[in-house]
Amino acid sequence: MSYPSPLIALLSVTLLANAYHIPEKSINGADPGPAPYSRTEKLLEPRLFGEGIISTSDDEFGGTFTPDGKTVFFSKSVLRFYTDVICYSKFSDGKWQTPEVAPFSGKYRDFDPVISADGTKMLFTSDRPVAGEEESNYDIWMVTKTADGWSEPIHLDTTINSSYNEHFASMAANGTIYFSSERPGALGGSGDADIYRSRLVDGKYMPAEHLGDSVSSKAYELDCVVAPDESFLLIGSYGREGGFGNYDIYVSRNTNGKWSPAKNLGAKVNSSFRDYSPRISPDGKYLFFTSEKDFSAPPWQGFKDYDELREKFHGILNGAGNIYQIELESLGIERPAVQSR
């Protein structure tokens, strides 16, 4: 299956027009002024994002923002039943509004939205049918920004998608797509997932390159969020050696085109709970990530009575996923920038 020619034209024109005219320290074309997610204080420890509106007692993960920071897209899931829906919330009247279901989601299992550096495209994962045929595996899809919102979902071609599961994708400012796949050749053998990339060259996506043992491992690499300038890659990995829990977030840095061995982000982000689904804010200042930490996280206080127990069980920290925010620089990660040319 090939990209429709209008899509190639759209990708080529928008990337050439936008990728190299973003002021330094203004990622995704965002206004240098404060975005709604910005904090006046230094955010050196993780803090719940959108508490009670976006982060709730339900399972939420993966917040990605439009360039102005005024709309956030994220996933909601029914735990253990794997029903996933992409939702969004707009910031107005000084607060995040009640979320709505994204216009292209709600029927199939859709999750892990990531908005491109120029804000014109959004990649996400879905099990929706391809060309009228029911799919039994997950693939990467894309919607493009239109005057009225977002286009109908477009199924990416065989340089990205395969007959195996593809779970997560993000796009650098130059159009290169990084993604996770269970295709043969994974370091952990059959059924494992590793990280790949496909470069955009002369308006055409090149065959996928396997990012080997500096980025991928014999563990299951699922999440892969690339900085717009490709200076680093954030990786969500399940069961990787040296982790704090069964699912941790790692970083690999790009030095002169070579990726460093992935390093655990440490105890500020990772824990004995599932910590995953990283995103970079449009201004490049913050890491947004998901954690399933609950009320039993240290320091554990116990319960005074049954009413308190019920309140905790039905509260935000009940073990379902929530979205957290922290400054990248507090994790030793330099703020990414896209230089103008």
42-85 pLDDT, tens digit per residue, is 999 999 999 999 999 999 999 999 999 999 999 999 877 778 99
Taking only the tens place, the pLDDT of each residue in 3-26 is 444 344 445 434 433 433 333 344
**HSE toward the beta carbon, residue 301, CA cutoff 13 A:** 8
Q: Is the pLDDT of residue 1 over 80?
A: no
> What value, to the nearest 5°, has the Cα angle with vertex 83 and ends 81 and 88?
145
CA quadruple 125, 130, 134, 136: dihedral sign: negative
Task: Tokens for 74, please give them.
Answer: 């994220």
Strand residues in 134-293 grouped as ranges (E): 139-146, 149-150, 154-155, 166-171, 177-181, 194-198, 200-201, 204-205, 209-210, 220-226, 232-238, 247-255, 258-259, 263-264, 275-280, 286-291
- Categorize the per-residue pLDDT at 241 as very low, low, confident or very high, splitting at 50, 70 and 90: confident
Strands 121-126 and 110-115: antiparallel
Residue carrying the six token digits 């127990």: 309
- Categorize the per-residue pLDDT at 154 as very low, low, confident or very high, splitting at 50, 70 and 90: very high
Single-letter residue type at 52: G
- Confirm if 338 and 22 have CB atoms less than 8 A apart: yes
- Confirm if 233 and 226 have CB atoms less than 8 A apart: yes
More confident residue, 254 or 10: 254
CA–CA dist 180, 164 (Å, integer): 11
Single-letter residue type at 194: D
Helix (H) or strand (E) holding 232, with range, is strand 232-238
Share of the chain above pLDDT 90, in %: 77
More confident residue, 80 or 93: 93
Strand partners, 154: 142
pLDDT of residue 261: 94
- Categorize the per-residue pLDDT at 296 as very low, low, confident or very high, splitting at 50, 70 and 90: confident
Determine the average pLDDT of the residues in 174-201. 96
Q: Is the pLDDT of residue 255 over 50?
A: yes
For the beta sheet containing 209-210, the strands, ordered from the edge strand earlier in sequence to the opposite edge, are 166-171, 177-181, 194-198, 209-210
pLDDT of residue 204: 92
CA–CA dist 234, 289 (Å, integer): 10
Which of 98-107, 167-176, 259-268, 331-340 is least confident?
Answer: 331-340
